[in-house]
Amino acid sequence: MRKAPALLAVVLVATAALAAQSEEARRSTLLPERLTRVDQVLQQYVDENRIAGAVALVLQDGRPVYERAVGWRDKEAGARMTADTIFRIASQTKAITSTAVLMLVEEGKLGLNDPVSRFLPSFARTTVAVRGEPGSGPLIGSGVTFLPAKRPITIRDLLTHTAGISYGTQTDVAALYEANGLGPAAGLGWYTADKNEPICDTMERLGTLPFVAQPGEAFVYGYNTDILGCVVERASATPLDEFIRTRITGPLGMRDTHFFLPAGERARLAAVYGSGGDGRIVRAPQGSKGQGDYVEGPRRSFAGGAGLLSTARDYARFLEMIRNGGALGGLRLLSPRTVQLMTTNQVGTLHSPNGLGFGLGFQTTDRYGANGLDGVGAFGWGGAYGTMYRVDPQARLTILLMTQLVPNATDIREKFPTLVYQALVEPAH
């Protein structure tokens, strides 16, 4: 008789588990049999040596509905890709730094229309490189002159990439940037992990160089969010790595998101590959255009634009916080109104005339068909090492693909979200 209560408890637990699984299956609108196509394509790319490996993760309503690790974390070492592999996420750092900025806006420590020179004095009188107009003197032999900026650059300009600030690789400015350790001297322009100086020192030097468009007149992708990283440091009186760790990644439980690899985690870091001339992967070199200095570098430059390492599961927690209007698991980082501002087009047609916009840190989909099968209101971005993400509030989806491929001659980042969406059906009514 004593066994009866215990048996009943086991039956009740099993029944509850089955009910939970049934509820999850009912809520999911991604057909498992169609998601197998994702498996097939990812494995095909590995088998054809077009990528070394990848981690793919899809959440719906915050629940994992698809997670796969395929191929190799380090092919030469015989190390298989695993779900907890750590990746260099490059420009996916921008969304996290932008979140830090908006947190400080909500606290009244800075304003969107504040001039950047409030925090970086070298930005008080910026210039723009132009051709064929009288200015402060040509670059030798180039016919380029420097004109004063028409107005001060603001925090909003940096968040929307409309400050006119590039990565300094354009012909008109490349020589000056290279002489100052930026542009061609910084890997592919955005890389600072090898610098033995704080990011604010680098960005103050940037403020003395000419930019490539007038503030507010063009969408120019570049050092904008690296400058914002310095703004965060000075507005909060806290180093950027500490601010992000204590205010964002730590509270969200993102244990594997760092600017430099923690001791003992080297085996989990994916190797970087590149697309060769025949489209097959080749192992990338050491240094700024390949493996980088994230393991044994100086660990002094915390680049808010392209510096973080993370895992698919970690970054998904950050994206879920944004999808949920600034909160996750009872923790609120931002207000719903602020998140709406971040994920709504703020630049009109400057980013694209064809239905894509840009908010305060995210690319936005404003017209169905403008970005594959994205729903209107979806937002996302990616990183130079081959990572990408999308959040589609309409479909309740968070989609991530992590790989390490630079240069990347594949179309896998475009195919992957399409393969996810083709498995999506309307919920039953």
d(CA 377, CA 236): 32
Task: Write out 282-349 in H/E/C secondary structure.
Answer: EECCCCCCCCCCCCCCCCCCCCCCCCCEECHHHHHHHHHHHHCCCEECCEECCCHHHHHHHCCCCCCC
Would you list the DSSP string of 72-116? EEETTTTEEP-TT-BEE-GGGHHHHHHHHHHHHHHTTS--TTSBG
Specify whether the CB–CB gap between 342 and 98 falls below 8 A: yes
- For 429, other C-beta atoms within 10 Å of its C-beta total 3
- Choose among 115, 211, 195: nearest CA to 157: 115
d(CA 55, CA 89): 13
Signed CA dihedral, 154, 157, 161, 166: sign only: negative
Residue whose pair of structure tokens reads 């394509």 in the numeric block:
41
Angle (CA) 59-61-63 rounded to 5° is: 50
Q: How far is CA 297 from the centre of its chain?
A: 21
Percentages of the chain per state (helix, strand, coil), in multiples of 5: 35, 20, 50
C-alpha pair distances (Å), 131 with each of 147, 215, 388? 10, 17, 36
- Using alpha carbons, list the distances in angstroms from residue 291 to 272, 405, 412: 6, 10, 21
Residues marked as catalytic: 91
**Left if phi > 0, otherwise alpha if psi is -120 to 50, otherwise beta: which for 327?**
beta
Q: Is 160 helix (H, G, I), strand (E, B) or coil?
A: helix
**How far apart, in whole angstroms, are the C-alpha atoms of residue 19 and residue 267?**
39
Residue carrying structure tokens 């430099």: 260
Two structure tokens written together for 189: 């322009």
